[in-house]
Amino acid sequence: MIHNIDIKKTAIEAIELEARAVQNLTNHINADFVTVVNKILTLNGRVIVTGMGKSAIIAQKIVATFNSTGTPAIFMHAADAIHGDLGIIQANDLIIAISKSGNTPEIKVLIPFLKQTNNTLVAIVGNLESYLAQQADFVLDTTVEREACPNNLAPTTSTTAQLAMGDALAVSLQTCRQFSDRDFAKYHPGGALGKQLYLRVGDLSEGNGAPQVTPDTPIRDTIITITKFRLGATAVIEGTKILGIITDGDIRRMLEKYDNFTALSAQDIMAKSPKTIDQSELAVEALHKMRQNNISQLLVTNNQIYNGIVHIQDLLKEGII
């Protein structure tokens, strides 16, 4: 059934409402926030994040962000906690409880048990007069004007604010720890993102071989070399010096230009000053260089000595592209 409403207007209003709520959080980054960051930085245990309903889903995402940026964290569902999962909490852990109202029944039942453990309790809460806010050691205020839901019921704006506050914590911790892209890659080794951060050119080229000919190599033998290695190119080397590169494209252009090429040698058709990259460079840098120069291969060097070829297909296979 199609309703007579302005769908675009409704969507824009929802986004604008949530954007204002997130922007308003800048007024709530206070001394408690700074203290919580410092406590986590010196923590000997883990950060335990708990919540109910939609807040529990936000808690799971915050835990995932913490873990991927160097802050050990565990999600504990508030309902499960009072049925055995309290055993997750250890003496040196810090607990973050997330709730819009701060008066959710499960949260109210859970808090006395959390207080008994003497762990630091941090509230990410949208009601400063709530039971959770009153019992917490530190409060991160995520109060919102209203939900984006037209009935002001479904958690929308409030969960967006919770998520943004969690991200602010994670980024602050990451910055304080000087958590680098290399550190990030340690936690993401299997995906394309991780590969962009740790995979080296040499990792790709080492299995390709190092096709090469001399300047005087006849064209027939040059073509055989290119075909043998299946990289679409060969380096032209004299001693240890790289003189040029011959690609499949150079062969095709030669066939268009010459009726008889039996007297030609590699130096007659090679492209001089070929693009190179050191084997220690990140594979993603090879991709950037290929795109900048509109080419499919790069000659790989090791301390300026020819070492092989990396092909754009190598990057595709590894998911770099």
Binding-site members for Zn(2+) are 77
Helices (H), the chain: 7-24, 31-41, 53-68, 78-81, 105-116, 131-135, 157-176, 181-186, 192-198, 201-205, 219-229, 248-257, 266-269, 283-293, 312-317
Q: Which 8-state DSSP code applies to residue 122? A: E
Residue 25 DSSP SS3: helix
- What's the burial of 275, exposed, middle or buried (CB within 10 Å: 0-12/13-18/19+)? middle
**Which SS3 state, helix, strand or coil, does residue 233 take?**
strand
End-to-end CA distance of the chain: give it in Å, rounded.
Answer: 42
Q: Which residues are annotated as a binding site?
A: 77
Q: How far apart are the C-alpha atoms of 165 and 21, rounded to whole Å?
A: 11
Question: Are 260 and 267 in contact, with CB atoms under 8 Å apart?
Answer: no
Spatial contact of 160 and 18, defined as CB atoms under 8 Å apart: yes
Residue 131 tokens read as: 């039971």
Maximum Cα interatomic distance, the chain, rounded to a whole number of Å? 91
Cα separation, 117 vs 93, whole angstroms: 10
Question: Which amino acid, residue 282?
Answer: L
Residues forming beta bridges with residue 234, ordered by sequence position: 246
Please answer whether residues 225 and 219 qualify as being in contact, where contact means their C-beta atoms are separated by less than 8 angstroms.
Answer: no
Structure tokens, 308 = 């092989």
Residue 119 to residue 169: CA distance in whole angstroms: 19
